[in-house]
Chains A and B, each alone.
Chain A
Amino acid sequence: MSEPGHRYVSTDRRVREDRRFVVGKGRYVADIGLPNTKHVALLTCPYPAARIKSIDKSAALAMPGVHYVLDGAELAAATLPLMTGLETPNVPRRPLAHEVARYAGEWVAAVVADSRALAEDAAEKVKVVYEKLPFVLDAEQALEKSSPLVHEAHGSNVLLDKTFTWGEVDRDFAAAPRKLSLRVKWGRSSTVPIETFGVVASWDPWRDMLDVYASIQMPRYSDQIGIALKLPASSVRVHYDVDVGGSYGVKRGIKHTVLVGYLSRRLGFPVRLIEDRLENMRGGDAHGPERLFDVEVAFDDQGIVKSMKLRALENVGAYAGRSPFQLGKPIGAIVGPYKIKSVQYRAMAVVTNKTTQEAVRGFGQAPTNVAIERTVDEVAEVLGLDPIEIRRRNMIRHEDFPYTIPSGTTYDSGDYHTVIDKVLKHTSYEDLKRERDALRAQGKLAGIGIAACLEPSGGNAMFEALLNPKITTTTFMDSCRITVDGIGSITATMHTTSSGQGHETLVGTVIGEVLQLDPELIRVTRPDSLNSLPSGTPVGSRMAIMLGGAAFHAANKLKAKLIAIGAHDLGIAPERAVYERGEVYDRNAPEKRRAWADLVQIAYRNFHRMPADMEPGLSVSHVMQVPTGGKLPDASGRVQMYPCTSFEFHMILISIDPALGRPQIVKYRVGHDCGTVINPKIVRGMTMGGIAHGIGAALYEEFAYDGEGQLMAQNFMDYLLPSSHEVPAVEIVHHCTPSPHTVLGQKGSGESGYLGAPAGIANAINDALRPLGISINTLPIKVAVLGDLIAAAQEKKE
């Protein structure tokens, strides 16, 4: 897997973060013990919609050890609503329900007590009088005029309804000999990390400083806290050296942080809120997409897809959050890996009386990929084409790159056909089909699922400006600072938290590569937000590209400075000086050299030996803008979304026990191309984990509600995360098509696996069902639902 010419990059090195994790010395937010910290428990609304008539706190406040009961009215008066992306001023979002609660589980009051157990005792004593209100749960019903309004002042339940037309859709549809339409449903699921969200806030009135420790993965986190709490962001110190116990997008936590930040300022002691699992599942605002797709495609007799119309209707839940934007990001890969020439895309987001969503791994791309890939399979089915063959025919070819898709994004590079070839070389397709047929002969339902999907990576957020023209942000930074100290040791900084992506290893590896020094010698730290350079967060599969890029550029700046110092001291032109493993020598006389210690000596203590006009010391930094970024969308809604596109090709054999409807993954192969791999262990782990998460979304996980608006899957006995039993052995076939836009040719992989697994599994199950003449396009595909469907089809056949 190692790419030629690299010393540390692409080599199979250990991940430095692991050492603290294996001994239980990760420092998670629940491990932060500030003296005199008090604990929050939350009182939640039992109804999907209710007016809060009164809150009686007296019995709770009378309990010894109980310090405060905060309600939504007090908090709303003292803070600003949370930032939302769309222009929806009449859909305010606040940490605690104010006047009206809009979903079952929404937080209504926060109790502060000496211990979490006591806070829960007291929360039971708070008496709230509610007036139940009519509610709506289903997205299509929410669109109807007669439907109850979730936010009355907004005047409708629609937050977003925007149609884009890229290319000659009508003409292409009229000209195409064949058309097909399909409805695909992605059920409400999320990333559900094993660590819930937690935050500790401590206000120091003598320093005007709010110290925040949180299990956070949120861009502009301290800005948003500052704005909501009406504090300058310079009074919000976010500690990034907190390990985050998994996130995959959802750990946004603004509402939690504003809540405890306010409480700490109000009460004068540190306050912590570590969600328990019920708070997390019901009211943590960490649900993911629940999306209904109506797809129409126009194609010819050879299976070439000419045009596509896609309507995506998102049920965002009670408040906007980041969710509506998750309809925007897929625009950057709206045709997947295919040469579809024109696209119409209608993005609709409605509010309902369900829990609010946050960003989920892939930011809407995984559901969109299911819609595209299910449709491609249906086209193949109609024409009697093999699912791999139809993909080959439609796919962008290696020589077509860079390739601009109708929605304006130029894909950087790819070699999709070769990846498929490599997977089929690893595992014979014919043998796999024989294995499927043998299973069928044994009385099983068996199917092969193919999915070819893209992972846009590099994470600019151009969907914001696309969906909300008032937003003009085109700057999306990440940064790194490297300091060589006075005795020559190296410290690099990164400026965000991590949730398992191995960023310290990434920074160390890249700097080690550039400086030709053992990465283990490079300390990587995380200063707090007040000591940080401008930075984003690990969203949008961006850190290998952006943090890796920033580290690369900073290291090159350091190298250039070392060369300048060495050359000057050697009395030669910098062009004649060569840098090698920490030393600088004269190209023409290699024995003339300055060792690392010499260079440090000059930079720190011998100003008289420094080149003119050079800063003393050895500290450099680099703030990096996302490659290819910087342009606003044009008038027709064409935009350059993420700079890089990784590719994944899934080939899955599934067997279903027809009597039970229980699927079992028999074989799982995936071809993966994310350009240059910086750390193979990390990239493999990401892909494996993404596939496991995708298996969950496809088969097990759903935040299901009953007709009364109650969340039925609110604990881990009903929301089913895949265990080791459910995740098969997966074989990955690696390919490397470097990106021309990144420093080492790397692309993103933080969402890999997840972006194609649900599509591949859905296709495999549909292949298995084909002999029965039925199909299923609603995810997750649950055992008993599948069982009932199969039984009904068998009955009909008999």
Chain B
Amino acid sequence: MKAAPFEYSRPADIDEACALLAADESARVVAGGQTLVAMMAMRLARPTRLIDINRIAALSYIRTEGDDVKIGATARQCVAERDALIAKSAPLLARAIPNIGHAATRARGTVGGSLANADPAAELVLCAITLDAVIEYRADGESGEIPAREFYIGPMITTLPAGAVLSGVRFPIWRGKVGVGFHEVNARRSDFAFVSAAAQVELGDDGKAKRIAIGVGAATDFPLRLDSAEAQLSGTALDEKTVRDALRAALADVETLEDLHASADYRRRVAVDLAARALADARNAAQGKPHAH
């Protein structure tokens, strides 16, 4: 299980990375490499050139800018996991990140790498879609951006333009009485999820949902935003029955994945359940109640 031969480059900045990528259509960017290197070892990925962006210091930021939390492509997952700013301004990420792999893979794995890899079960992809994050990239000396909901189009497939390097992501900050919830199910706790669900809620002073976002991951080719349920539940008190009915309706006609680990029925049914749990957690947190664990 040894990678096929390749050339290795370590560009000093992102534009140099873009130039290297543009020059060789079989080149791949490596950030944390926690998926790519394993795929290379099995020769399921065989780039001719590996462009290592880990040393580009300018890409490892975590900061707020206006109404957004901005995270650079090479910010490590373990750093984001413990980052006070993320805990405060993007609490869904703080909830979701500990579910990614193990501590030793989060130590190398990056936020941008996971977003670019586009695994249907990736927690960060689910967060990005749920929160309407915006993916930022550089290509040809220019900056560009794509909303997460337009970025993902299939399993491991994105709309990132050829020759572009993902440079970062912005997550909009929700203010007010905000709560989040995140649940996933797998066989072993640290595996890829069979199904995952994320929810973020802002409650109005009346205790009703003012703003609501629900996403389901790992059940479909790429994480799914449950718009119809959000619309239906907006302005309600998010009681259990209403929530479950809305979620069931939203997922009723969704074609879910089937594989070695779980049936399509399982994924559809459990998606409803986990989304309901995530939403309940989010509502409770917004009300200032601790999570029931």
With A717-B192, A726-B189 given, is the CB distance from A660 to B260 under 8 Å? no
**Which residues in A have their C-beta under 8 angstroms from that of B3?**
117
Chain B residue at minimum C-beta to C-beta distance from A279:
B1
Cross-chain contact B273 with A121 (CB below 8 angstroms): no
Q: Which segment, of A505-513, A626-634, A781-789, faces chain B?
A: A781-789
Find chain A residues with CB under 8 A from B188 CB. 700, 720, 722-723, 725-726
Inter-chain contacts of A712 with B (CB < 8 A): 260
Q: Shortest Cβ distance from A726 into chain B, in angstroms? A: 6
Nearest CB in chain A to that of B189: its residue: A725
Asked whether A787 lies within 8 Å of B192 as measured between CB atoms, the reply is no
Find the A residue at minimum CB distance from B194: A784
A708 to B260, CA, bound (A): 14
B2 adjacent to A659 (CB under 8 Å): no
A276 interface residue (CB < 8 Å to B): yes
**For chain B residues 48-72, which have a beta carbon within 8 Å of chain A?**
none
Interface residue B83 (Cβ < 8 Å from any Cβ of A)? no
Of A659, A717, A722, A784, the residue contacting B273 (CB under 8 A) is A659
Interface 0/1 of A721-752, CB less than 8 Å to B: 01101100000000000000000000000000
B26 at interface by CB-CB < 8 Å = no
Question: Of B9-17, B141-149, B261-269, which stretch is located at the interface?
Answer: B261-269
Q: Does B104 make an interface contact (CB < 8 A)?
A: no
Residues on the A chain within 8 Å of B186, using CB: 783
In the complex, B4 has a CB within 8 A of chain A? yes
Q: How far is the CB of B110 from chain A (nearest CB, A)?
A: 20
Known: A660-B270, A717-B192. A783 touches B2 (CB 8 A): no
Chain B residues within 8 Å of A713, by CB: 260
Residues A704 and B260 in contact, CB atoms below 8 Å apart? yes
Do B260 and A278 have beta carbons less than 8 Å apart? no
User: Cβ of B232 < 8 Å from any Cβ of A?
Assistant: no
Q: Is B252 close to A, CB under 8 A?
A: no
| Complex CA distance for A117 and B4, rounded to whole angstroms | 8
Tell me the total A-B contact number using a CB cutoff of 8 A. Answer: 69
Cross-chain contact B265 with A660 (CB below 8 angstroms): no
Distance between A43 CB and nearest chain B CB, rounded to angstroms: 13
Complex Cα gap A612–B197 (Å): 86
Partner of B194, one of A722, A726, A783: A783
User: In the complex, what residues of B have CB within 8 A of residue A787's CB?
Assistant: 262, 266, 269-270
* Pair A783/B187 contact, Cβ less than 8 Å: yes
Q: Decide if A715 is an interface residue (CB 8 Å cutoff).
A: yes
Residue of A120, A124, A659, A725 with most partner-chain B CB within 10 A: A659
Contact indicator per residue, chain B 1-41, by CB within 8 Å of chain A (1) or not (0): 11111000000000000000000000000000000000000
With A and B bound together, what is the CA distance between A750 and B193 in angstroms? 35
B residues less than 8 Å from A277 (CB atoms) = 1
A784, B256: Cα distance in complex, Å: 14
**The one of A659, A725, A783 that contacts B190, using a Cβ cutoff of 8 Å:** A725
Contact at A278–B261, with CB atoms within 8 Å?
Answer: no
A723 to B263, CA, bound (A): 24
Task: Write out the residue numbers on chain B whose beta carbons fall within 8 Å of the beta carbon of A386.
Answer: none
Q: Pick the contact of B4 from A121, A700, A717, A788 — CB < 8 Å? A: A121
Q: A303 to B5, alpha carbons, bound, how many Å?
A: 67
Minimum C-beta distance from B35 to chain A (A): 10
The residue on A at minimum CB distance from B1 is A276
For A110-129 the 0/1 string (1 means CB < 8 A from B) is 00000011001100100000
B260 is contacted by which of A116, A718, A791 (Cβ under 8 Å)?
A718
A346 at the interface (CB under 8 A from B): no
Does A667 lie at the interface of the complex (its beta carbon under 8 Å from any beta carbon of B)? no
Q: Which residues of B contact A660 (CB under 8 A)?
A: 185, 270, 273-274
Residues of A contacting B265 in the complex (Cβ-Cβ under 8 angstroms): 788, 791
Give the contacts of A536-574 with B (CB-CB under 8 A): none
Tell yes or no: B255 within 8 A of A by CB. no
Q: Say how far B277's CB is from chain A's closest CB, in angstroms.
A: 9
A791 vs B1: C-alpha distance when bound (angstroms): 41
User: How does the 8 Å CB contact mask read for B224-268 relative to A, with 1 for contact and 0 for none?
Assistant: 000000000000000000000000000000000000111101100
CB of B153 closer than 8 Å to a CB of A: no
Within 8 A of B (CB), among A53-102: none
Q: Give Cα A787–Cα B261 distance, bound, in whole angstroms.
A: 12
A280's nearest neighbour on chain B, judged by CB, is B1
Bound-state CA distance A785–B194 (Å) is 12
The answer, yes or no, to whether B156 is at the interface (CB within 8 Å) is no
Which residues of chain A from 695 to 714 have any CB-CB distance to chain B below 8 Å in the complex? 699-700, 704, 712-713
Chain A nearest CB, measured from B42 CB (Å): 7
In whole angstroms, how far apart are the Cα atoms of A713 and B191 in the complex?
Answer: 14
- Pair B2/A784 contact, Cβ less than 8 Å: no
CA of A124 to CA of B43, assembled, Å: 10
Residue of A nearest to B272 (CB): A659
Chain B residues whose CB sits within 8 angstroms of the CB of A276 once the complex forms: 1
Min C-beta distance of B267 to chain A, whole Å: 8
Q: Flag B162-199 by CB within 8 Å of A: 1 or 0 each.
A: 00000000000000000000000111111110100000
Contact of B263 among A662, A715, A784 (CB under 8 A): A784
Contact B191 A720 (CB under 8 A): yes
Chain B interface, number of residues (Cβ within 8 angstroms)? 26
- Closest residue to B195 on the A side, CB-wise? A660
Contact of A784 among B5, B191, B266, B274 (CB under 8 A): B266
Separation in Å of the B260 CB from the closest CB of chain A? 5
CA distance A796 to B191 in the complex (A): 32
- Smallest CB–CB gap between B47 and chain A, Å? 15
Which of A117, A124, A783 counts the most chain B CB atoms within 10 A? A783
> B266: nearest residue on chain A (CB-CB)?
A784
**Across the interface, which residues of A come within 8 angstroms of B42, CB to CB?**
278, 715
Distance between Cα atoms of A238 and B185 in the complex (Å): 48
| Chain B residue contacts of A278, Cβ below 8 A | 1, 42
CB distance from A761 to the nearest CB of B (A): 14
Which among A117, A715, A782 is the interface contact of B261 at CB below 8 angstroms? Answer: A782
**Residues 109-151 of A contacting B (Cβ, < 8 Å):** 116-117, 120-121, 124
Provide the bound-state CA to CA distance between A723 and B191, in Å: 10
| Contact assessment for B2 and A117 in the assembled complex, using a CB-CB cutoff below 8 Å | yes
Cross-interface CB contact of A723 among B185, B190, B262, cutoff 8 Å: B190
**Chain B positions within 8 Å of A704 at CB level:** 260
Instruction: Write the nearest CB–CB distance from B244 to chain A, whole angstroms.
Output: 11
Task: Name the B residues within 8 Å of A661 (CB-CB).
Answer: 266
Q: Which one of B2, B189, B191, B263 lies within 8 Å of A116 (CB-CB)?
A: B2
Residue of chain A at shortest CB distance from B273: A659
The interface residues of chain A lying within 8 Å CB-to-CB of B260 are: 704, 712-713, 718
Q: Contact mask A660-704 → B, CB, 8 Å, 1/0?
A: 111000000000000000000000000000000000000110001
Closest B residue to A118 by beta carbon equals B2
Query: Would you call B187 and A700 a contact (CB within 8 A)?
Result: yes
Report the nearest A residue to B259, measured CB to CB: A712
Q: Which residues of B contact A783 (CB under 8 A)?
A: 185-187, 194, 261-262
Chain B, Cβ-Cβ closest to A120? B2
B270→A121 contact, CB < 8 A: no
Which of B5, B42, B190, B261 has the most chain A CB atoms inside 10 A of its CB? B261
Contact A662–B4 (Cβ < 8 Å): no
Question: In the complex, what's the smallest C-beta–C-beta distance from B143 to chain A, in angstroms?
Answer: 36
Residues in A with CB closer than 8 Å to B2 are 116-117, 120
Complex formed: what's the CA distance from A567 to B187 in Å?
68
When distances are taken between beta carbons in the complex, the residues of chain A under 8 Å from B185 are 660, 662, 783
Question: Do A121 and B269 touch across chains, with their CB atoms under 8 A apart?
Answer: no
**22 residue pairs A–B, Cβ–Cβ below 8 Å:** A116-B2, A117-B2, A117-B5, A120-B2, A120-B43, A660-B185, A660-B274, A699-B187, A700-B188, A704-B260, A717-B191, A725-B189, A726-B189, A782-B187, A782-B261, A783-B186, A783-B187, A783-B194, A783-B261, A783-B262, A788-B265, A791-B266
Which B positions have Cβ atoms within 8 angstroms of A? 1-5, 42-43, 185-192, 194, 260-263, 265-266, 269-270, 273-274
The 3 closest A-B pairs by CB, nearest first: A784-B262, A117-B2, A276-B1
Q: A121-B4, A787-B266 are in contact. List 15 more A-B contacts (CB 8 A).
A: A120-B1, A121-B5, A659-B270, A660-B185, A660-B274, A661-B266, A700-B187, A720-B187, A725-B189, A782-B187, A783-B194, A784-B261, A784-B266, A787-B262, A791-B266
